Structure 1
Amino acid sequence: MNDIISASELAVELAGDYPPVVLDIRYLLGGPHGRPAYEAGHIPGAVFVDLDAELAGPPGSGGRHPLPDLEVFGAAMRAAGVSVTRPVVVYGGAQGWAAARAWWLLRWTGHASVRVLDGGLAVWDGPLSVSTPAPAAGDFVPVPGALPVLDADGAAALARRGVLLDARAGERYRGEVEPIDRVAGHIPGARSAPTTENVDADGCFLPPATLASRFARLGAGADTEVGVYCGSGVSAAHEVLALAVAGIPAALYPGSWSEWSSDDSRPVATGPNP
């Protein structure tokens, strides 16, 4: 199953007899809310989804972006027109991390056809709309378990027996800086794999073979048990997507470093090595 779609492919599908549901998930950590940008112009028919309110639960012991309440998530998806039998395409802004979070949540909860617009809104050269659509309610009911998930203990164990990738910037992995969380460093045994290195200058994913080679250098392959974490489980979803493009299944640790570092009993490693 394809997990990404090009702008030209999306344009063709939107003009067809059975267009996909399109979700606009523009979000930037520490930046302005994505709703005003959506209202200023979005792909025609796209429905805005709020990452903080609908794709994550309230910050707390489970991290800064814990998994959402399934009732809240399901209601948001149905209000956006998401149905079991209708394909979904999600897109975001420059980073694409929030779109990957939506892709992962929908796939994790059982939707069979979800793709991310490769490169996000920046690659879309079709018309933009300022109209807010009112789609017919969908019938999607989320049932978790279709993709693997790690908790803190599971991430620690996977770092010992498989490959645990840290999708944050290298300087955060090494513990040189920590602009957000209370402790700097990484989970012992994890390997640094910044998700920014999975895309080209335009924000589009590198070719599958190039991604596969990159992950192979990190010890990850189709026959390896792989897990991913980041700061709060958002950019890690983007890395899980990159791994999927490369043909490598991977588990997500949603709590990520924000959960791990909030527990004083958890060990912390620093420096360039696992």
Structure 2
Amino acid sequence: MNAIISASELASESAGPRPPVLLDVRYQMGVPNLRSAYETAHIPGAVFIDMEAELAAPPGAGGRHPLPDLAVFGAAMRRAGVTPSRPVVVYDGGQGWAAARAWWLLRFTGHPDVRVLDGGLPAWTGPLTSEIPSPPEGDFVPAPGAAPLLDADGAAVLARSGLLLDARAAERYRGEVEPIDPVAGHIPGAVSAPTMENVDEDGRFLPAEALAARFKALGAAEAAEVGVYCGSGVSAAQQVLALEIAGFRAALYVGSWSEWCADASRPVATGPHPG
């Protein structure tokens, strides 16, 4: 099953007999939410989902974007009309991070058919609307465990026994800068793999063959297991999506660096090498 959908494919499916449920998950770090942008213009039929309030729990010991309370997440999905019997398409403002977080959560909790709009809203050439839809209540009930998940201990083990990819910018991995979290560096044994290298200049994912070559060069083909982390478990979801496009199954460390570095007993590596 494809994990992404093009704008032209979405337009065709939306006009067909079984249109997908559309979720607008536009998000910008440091901004409470982008609901106002959604209310101004969105793809017809799309329902706004608040990334921080509905796709994550409040910041705390589990990091800046821990897993959401499943009751809150499930209620948001049902409000949007999500049901297991209809496909779901998720889009954001273009970078694919927030959309991939929603994609991963739906997959993790058992939805059988969810895809990300490749290139996000900027790729959409169809009509936009300010009309707020009122879809019929969905019946999706989250059942966690359908996708691999890592905690801090599991990430530490995987960094040594398999392949743990750090999806942040390379300078953050090396520990040269850290604009958000209190400690700079990376999980010892992790390999740098910035998410921006998964997409082209328009924010669309590279072809599957190019992504496969990228991840093979990083060691994914030889690894017994692959995992991904980032700063807070959002951009890493985009990397899990890219790996799926490339043909690799990967686990997500949701707590990511924001959880890891909050515990002073956990080791930290710096520099260009895994450590």
What TM-score range do you get, normalising by the shorter chain?
over 0.9
Counterpart CA distance in 2 for 1:15 and 1:230 is: 37
Q: Is 1:156 paired with 2:156? A: yes
Counterpart CA distance in 2 for 1:196 and 1:32 is: 24
Aligned-pair CA distance for 1:30: 2.2
Counterpart CA distance in 2 for 1:258 and 1:67 is: 13
Q: How does 1:183-202 map to 2 (within 5 A)?
A: 183-202=183-202
2:256: which partner in 1? Answer: 256
2:43: which partner in 1? Answer: 43
Aligned-pair CA distance for 1:187: 0.1
Secondary structure class of the residue paired with 2:116: strand
Counterpart CA distance in 2 for 1:103 and 1:222 is: 26
Moved over 2 A (4+): 30-33, 221-224
Counterpart CA distance in 2 for 1:35 and 1:235 is: 20
Distance 1:125 1:222, change over 3 A: farther
Distance 1:11 1:227, change over 3 A: same
2:18: which partner in 1? Answer: 18
Aligned-pair CA distance for 1:221: 2.3
Aligned-pair CA distance for 1:269: 0.1
1:238: which partner in 2? Answer: 238
Q: Is 1:126 paired with 2:152? A: no
TM-score, scaled relative to structure 1: 0.99
In 2, are the aligned partners of 1:222 and 1:247 still within 8 Å (CA)? no
1:137: which partner in 2? Answer: 137
In 2, are the aligned partners of 1:163 and 1:219 still within 8 Å (CA)? yes
The superposition leaves residues 67-122 of structure 1 with CA deviations (integer Å, 9 ceiling, x where unpaired) of 00000000000000000111000000021100000000000000000000000000
In 1, are the aligned partners of 2:162 and 2:223 still within 8 Å (CA)? no
TM-score, scaled relative to structure 2: 0.98
The unaligned stretches of length 5 or more in structure 2 are none
The aligned amino acid for 1:215 is: F
The aligned amino acid for 1:213 is: A
Aligned-pair CA distance for 1:17: 1.1
Q: CA RMSD in A?
A: 0.9
Aligned-pair CA distance for 1:138: 0.2
Q: Is 1:108 paired with 2:97? A: no
Distance 1:88 1:222, change over 3 A: farther
In 2, are the aligned partners of 1:222 and 1:248 still within 8 Å (CA)? no
Aligned-pair CA distance for 1:223: 6.1
Counterpart CA distance in 1 for 2:221 and 2:86 is: 31
In 2, are the aligned partners of 1:74 and 1:142 still within 8 Å (CA)? yes
Distance 1:108 1:222, change over 3 A: farther
The superposition leaves residues 47-69 of structure 1 with CA deviations (integer Å, 9 ceiling, x where unpaired) of 00000100000100000000000
The aligned amino acid for 2:199 is: V
Secondary structure class of the residue paired with 2:150: coil
Counterpart CA distance in 2 for 1:227 and 1:259 is: 16
The superposition leaves residues 114-161 of structure 1 with CA deviations (integer Å, 9 ceiling, x where unpaired) of 000000000000000101100000000000000000000000000000
Counterpart CA distance in 2 for 1:223 and 1:125 is: 40
2:65: which partner in 1? Answer: 65
1:171: which partner in 2? Answer: 171
The superposition leaves residues 26-61 of structure 1 with CA deviations (integer Å, 9 ceiling, x where unpaired) of 001124621111111000000000001000001000
Secondary structure class of the residue paired with 1:27: coil
In 2, are the aligned partners of 1:222 and 1:249 still within 8 Å (CA)? no
| Count of paired positions | 274
Secondary structure class of the residue paired with 1:129: coil
Aligned-pair CA distance for 1:222: 7.8
Distance 1:11 1:59, change over 3 A: same
In 2, are the aligned partners of 1:23 and 1:80 still within 8 Å (CA)? yes
Secondary structure class of the residue paired with 1:134: coil
The aligned amino acid for 2:93 is: G
Q: Is 1:211 paired with 2:211? A: yes
In 2, are the aligned partners of 1:100 and 1:234 still within 8 Å (CA)? yes
1:273: which partner in 2? Answer: 273
2:146: which partner in 1? Answer: 146
The aligned amino acid for 1:150 is: L
Counterpart CA distance in 2 for 1:266 and 1:32 is: 31
